[in-house]
């Protein structure tokens, strides 16, 4: 199969993508967070292709993407008032809500769960595609399962060249980490995955929020978790990643003490001069956390190379979007963190 790339501003983009989706094919689609691998979310055969092409475990449900916030009622029921408030505040945008599913949502889309995750992405071309196809689009991040997510059309092509007919190229994703996921079937609501909408923003609307254990710690493969996707190894390059926490100078000292030929350093742009002899790669500026979230996955993909020994990574501190960056980096590092202030 030849994989075609059509720019988002090409007049054929919407028609071709919608045509492929209604025909039951997969399409690589841009969103403001990461690129998705989209299929007709109401068609079990089309949805099955997502699992096959990504190599995704069958028990990991998909997010259903809608074009307009009002469509939430078509696919969910018993919707609490708080969900409408969140939709009003953050949709279209990088927020996914877990709600009780209506029967119209096939079990394969939600991996057999009674709930479905819905999101209205802040991406004009993808919303136009969904409207034109007149179906909700089930889409995971377009990366091969376990690998860093896709934030450009080239990343999608790299992972799926010849396996899907079409990718819509909307340029690099602005947010760069996947959407925030909130489970609204519980009270208080539960944060299942941090993202572009921050815990602080959620609390301002909801009043209260529980942080799921899977956000902050490694989950055992056999543990029962709320977001099944959170227990799998994620975002991981081929080699081990070690987060080196602590003050800038102490971290550089620690890394220099342990650095071996073939290792790499993933750091902030401001730190590049400190690691001139350690083959450093910067993923953004510490002073602007949005550049870190936007650059993280491209950097992790660049470092996905089995000839690399280890990667020493620097991670931003604090809340807001930094909280999501910490979560992704910790998962990429399988929660291997050393504190340079105390470690030898």
Q: Which of 115, 151, 282, 327 binds ligand TXA (CB under 6 A)?
A: 115
Taking CB within 5 to 8 Å according to partner kind, which of Mg ion, ligand TXA, none is near residue 116? Answer: ligand TXA
Which C-beta is closer to ligand TXA: that of 92 or that of 229? 229
With the CA atoms of 214, 41, 36 and 288 taken in that order, what torsion angle do they form, in degrees rounded to the nearest 10? -50
Report the DSSP pairing between strands 137-138 and 36-40. antiparallel
* CA angle centred on 95, ends 132 and 158, rounded to 5°: 65
Q: Which of 141, 151, 293, 327 binds Mg ion (CB under 5 A)?
A: 141
34 binds ligand TXA (CB under 6 A): yes
Contact code string over 56-95 relative to ligand TXA, x by CB under 6 A: ----xxxx--------------------------------
Q: Give the C-alpha separation, 279 to 242, whole Å.
A: 15
Q: What is the largest CA-CA distance in the chain?
A: 59
Which H helix or E strand runs over 95? strand 95-100
Q: Which of 8, 16, 36, 237 binds ligand TXA (CB under 6 A)?
A: 36
Site for ligand TXA in 158-197 (CB under 6 A): 178-179, 181, 192
Q: What are phi and psi of 84, to 5 degrees?
A: -65, -35
Instruction: Collapse the DSSP code of 185 into the 3-class scheme (helix H, G, I; strand E, B; otherwise coil) and give the result.
Output: coil
User: How far apart, in Å, are the Cα atoms of 301 and each of 188, 222, 283, 314?
Assistant: 36, 28, 11, 16
Which C-beta is closer to ligand TXA: that of 14 or that of 116? 116
Taking CB within 5 to 8 Å according to partner kind, which of ligand TXA, Mg ion, none is near residue 230? Answer: ligand TXA
Tokens representing 115 are 């709930």
Least Cβ distance, residue 181 to ligand TXA (angstroms): 5
* Stretch binding Mg ion (CB under 5 A), from 10-18, 137-145, 237-245, 270-278: 137-145
Residues in contact with ligand TXA by the rule CB under 6 A: 31, 33-34, 36, 60-63, 96, 98, 110, 113, 115-117, 119, 121, 139-141, 178-179, 181, 192, 226-230
């Amino acid at each position: 199969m030849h994989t075609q790339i059509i720019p988002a501003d090409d007049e054929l983009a919407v028609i071709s993508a919608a045509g492929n989706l209604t025909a039951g094919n997969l399409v690589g689609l841009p969103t403001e967070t990461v690129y998705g691998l989209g299929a007709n979310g109401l068609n079990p055969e089309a949805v099955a292709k997502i699992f096959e092409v990504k190599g995704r475990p069958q028990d990991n449900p998909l997010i259903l993407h809608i074009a307009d916030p009002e469509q939430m009622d078509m696919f969910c029921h018993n919707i609490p008032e708080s969900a409408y408030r969140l939709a009003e505040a953050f949709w279209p945008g990088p927020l996914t809500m877990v709600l009780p599913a209506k029967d119209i949502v096939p079990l394969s889309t939600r991996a057999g769960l009674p709930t479905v995750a819905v999101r209205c992405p802040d991406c004009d071309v993808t919303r136009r595609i969904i409207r034109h196809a007149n179906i909700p689009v089930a889409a995971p991040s377009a990366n091969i399962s376990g690998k860093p997510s896709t934030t450009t059309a080239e990343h999608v092509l790299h992972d799926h060249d010849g396996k899907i007919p079409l990718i819509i190229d909307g340029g690099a994703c602005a947010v760069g980490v996947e959407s925030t996921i909130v489970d609204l079937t519980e009270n208080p609501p539960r944060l299942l995955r941090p993202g572009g909408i921050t815990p602080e923003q959620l609390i301002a609307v909801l009043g209260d929020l529980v942080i799921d254990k899977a956000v902050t710690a490694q989950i055992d493969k056999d543990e029962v978790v709320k977001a099944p996707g959170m227990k799998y190894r994620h975002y991981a390059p081929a080699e081990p990643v070690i987060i080196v926490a602590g003050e800038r100078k102490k971290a550089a000292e620690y890394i220099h003490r342990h650095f071996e030929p073939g290792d790499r350093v993933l750091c902030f742009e401001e730190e590049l001069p400190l690691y001139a002899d350690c083959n450093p790669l910067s993923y953004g500026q510490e002073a602007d956390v949005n550049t870190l979230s936007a650059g993280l996955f491209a950097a992790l993909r660049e470092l996905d190379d089995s000839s690399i020994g280890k990667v020493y990574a620097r991670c931003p501190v604090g809340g807001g979007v930094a909280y999501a960056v910490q979560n992704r980096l910790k998962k990429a590092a399988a929660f291997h963190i050393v504190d340079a202030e105390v470690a030898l």
